[in-house]
Homo-oligomer: A and B are copies of this chain.
């Protein structure tokens, strides 16, 4: 685990982040932990009544909780409206990212026309192409490939093994995890004379500020215009974003989502894991898509949308699923029953 560099007294924490302190403000906190695992010098949080038993048994030196739960423990505690968000901020304080040691590794390949800021760090086996720029404080770890004319902003972090194709633009404070591929060719092919012909992909990828992209996620460059990921978007691992997509600011996607080309997703959306979103669609702001949902039509209104086939024991599935292929006929039979029954009821009442 990270070695936290500094401990803070509860009174200091409350002074910094707000909230009401109950109990001894001199308790010193060096790390966050779960209710179950926490021990001396550690703080935990309680935000879900399912964990009441763990709260009772915790050995954490302090707890973050709501006013409703404030009397559930006598340990030192910070009372606030949103314990999880409070915990997030406190954890960020206790676990700062490692300092970036400026410099270029002797096993790096920097093109003479590239501009690497003096405070940036370039790891071993990383190449930086012609005309590329790396901003102040940015860290590019081992084995990355930054293409010609790529611009990377300030205070970014590229973990090992990231590839960025030529001409793409990366904002400030962007995090790209290992295996991320930015700007590979979109899937643009035209059928003619019995074979596929490749269409040059001459757009770019633009990543806004504060974007984070998970391991092995791929974002294709635009065919003609650019693929755009707006500021604050958070993408989990193994997501595929097709060419010409636009993902609105502050939208978050869980792992394994696929978004086909030319689809526009709004701001503040939340896309569940393994969802599949078809091409050339428009998804409104504030839309929530459940995990494993297939989206094949545009969604013009905010709301939560789902398309999961309910799971069951395989033998029950065999029995029930076979009827799916005859639903139209079943519905027609019900309609016919209704007509015949109405006729009979009519005769009966004659």
Binds B, one of A19-27, A64-72, A112-120, A332-340: A332-340
Interface size class, chain A? 35 or more
- A255, B238: Cβ atoms closer than 8 Å: no
- A306, B312: Cβ atoms closer than 8 Å: yes
Known: A178-B181, A348-B344. A325 touches B310 (CB 8 A): yes
The residue on B at minimum CB distance from A233 is B196
A137 interface residue, CB < 8 Å from B? no
Binary flags per residue of A303-340, CB closer than 8 Å to B gives 1, else 0? 11111111111111111111111111011011001101
A37 to B195, CA, bound (A): 29
A227 interface residue, CB < 8 Å from B? no
Q: For residue A317, which residues in chain B have a CB less than 8 angstroms away from its CB?
A: 290, 305-308
Binary flags per residue of A180-204, CB closer than 8 Å to B gives 1, else 0? 0100110111111011111110111
Of B145, B147, B250, the residue contacting A143 (CB under 8 A) is B145
Known: A125-B143, A312-B325. A198 touches B184 (CB 8 A): no
Q: Which of A282-319 contact B (CB under 8 A)?
A: 288, 290-297, 303-319
A76 interface residue, CB < 8 Å from B? no
Binary flags per residue of A187-227, CB closer than 8 Å to B gives 1, else 0? 11111101111111011100000101011101010001100
- A311, B337: Cβ atoms closer than 8 Å: no
Chain B: minimal CB distance from A114 (Å): 13
- B306, A311: Cβ atoms closer than 8 Å: yes
A274 interface residue, CB < 8 Å from B? yes
- A84, B167: Cβ atoms closer than 8 Å: no
- A258, B273: Cβ atoms closer than 8 Å: yes
- A196, B109: Cβ atoms closer than 8 Å: no
A-B contact pairs, 15 of them (CB 8 A): A85-B197, A88-B192, A89-B197, A125-B127, A159-B165, A214-B218, A214-B220, A240-B256, A240-B273, A291-B294, A304-B314, A307-B309, A307-B312, A320-B325, A330-B331
